Amino acid sequence: MEAYLVTDRHLASDEFLLRLIRRASEAGIDRVQIREKDLGGRALIRLVRQAMEAVEDRRATLLVNDRLDVALSASAHGVHLGREGLPADVARRIAGDELIIGVSAHSMDEALEAQERGADYLFIGPVFPTPSKAAFGEPLGVPKLESILRRIRIPAYAIGGVTPERMAILRNLPLTGVAMISAFVRAPSVADLVQQVHQGRWS
């Protein structure tokens, strides 16, 4: 199971955020997404470039939320597109085949559409209740998540309220991995959390 860190600097300081990315990268995190929607272009480019330095020569791929222009300017590995972002096929025509393109899906229809438009992977959620995803409505729950996973053919990550305590519920689903925001910020040991996901040592 892959571990995916999604950032939110409002949960901690900017300095902590970069330390977190560095620690997670050193621990073998698979993917990191810079999800700082309120940052202006220059500040976001600077943050992404710093984050790219933190993951350099590590296994992690680094993606930028929604801002394809920033992802390209900062030489990030990919872009993650939300519901209001560019369609995946449009982003592909602009960016070419080298860039990883992820898409958020909150329903079966959205997941199938993103797959059809050429997304490389999906976020599916929110699975559980969580303040960071409250704007997307009621959580899907595990049964709806599973039904979506059975229909799609591309990699998928569960997101939304995923915690070490809840990961056991997801153990037997055909997921590529889990994406977490606050769980990484609050983790007593980022390295232990990454290893826990990788090895399936779930509560």
Give the tens place of pLDDT for each residue, 80-119: 999 888 999 999 999 999 999 999 999 999 999 999 999 9
- Cα-Cα end-to-end distance for the chain: 15
Share of the chain above pLDDT 70, in %: 96
Q: What is the predicted pLDDT for the residue at 200?
A: 77
Cβ–Cβ < 8 Å for 155, 169 = no
What is the band of 133 on the pLDDT scale with cuts at 50, 70, 90?
low
Q: What is the predicted pLDDT for the residue at 130?
A: 77
pLDDT tens per residue across span 148-198: 999 999 999 999 999 988 988 998 899 999 999 999 999 999 999 999 999
Query: Residue 18 pLDDT more than 70?
Result: yes
C-alpha 112/C-alpha 148 separation (Å) is 9
User: Taking all residues of the chain, what is their mean pLDDT, rounded to a whole number?
Assistant: 94
C-alpha 46/C-alpha 57 separation (Å) is 19
C-alpha 141/C-alpha 176 separation (Å) is 17
Query: Residue 38 pLDDT more than 80?
Result: yes
Which residues are catalytically annotated?
Answer: 35, 104, 133
Average pLDDT over residues 199-203: 68
Average pLDDT over residues 124-153: 87
Backbone angle region of 50, left / alpha / beta, with phi > 0 → left and psi within -120 to 50 → alpha: alpha
| The most confident of 13-17, 72-76, 133-137, by mean pLDDT | 72-76
Q: What is the predicted pLDDT for the residue at 202?
A: 59
C-alpha 135/C-alpha 170 separation (Å) is 23
Interacting residues of 172 by C-beta distance below 8 A, sequence separation 6+: none
Partners of 35 in the β-ladder: none
Backbone angle region of 179, left / alpha / beta, with phi > 0 → left and psi within -120 to 50 → alpha: beta
The residue among 15 and 68 whose pLDDT is bigger is 68
Pick the CATH number of 2-199 from 2.60.40.10, 3.40.50.1100, 3.20.20.140, 3.20.20.70: 3.20.20.70
Q: What is the predicted pLDDT for the residue at 180?
A: 96
**In 3D, which of 102, 109, 90 has the Cα closest to residue 156?**
102
Q: What is the predicted pLDDT for the residue at 83?
A: 86
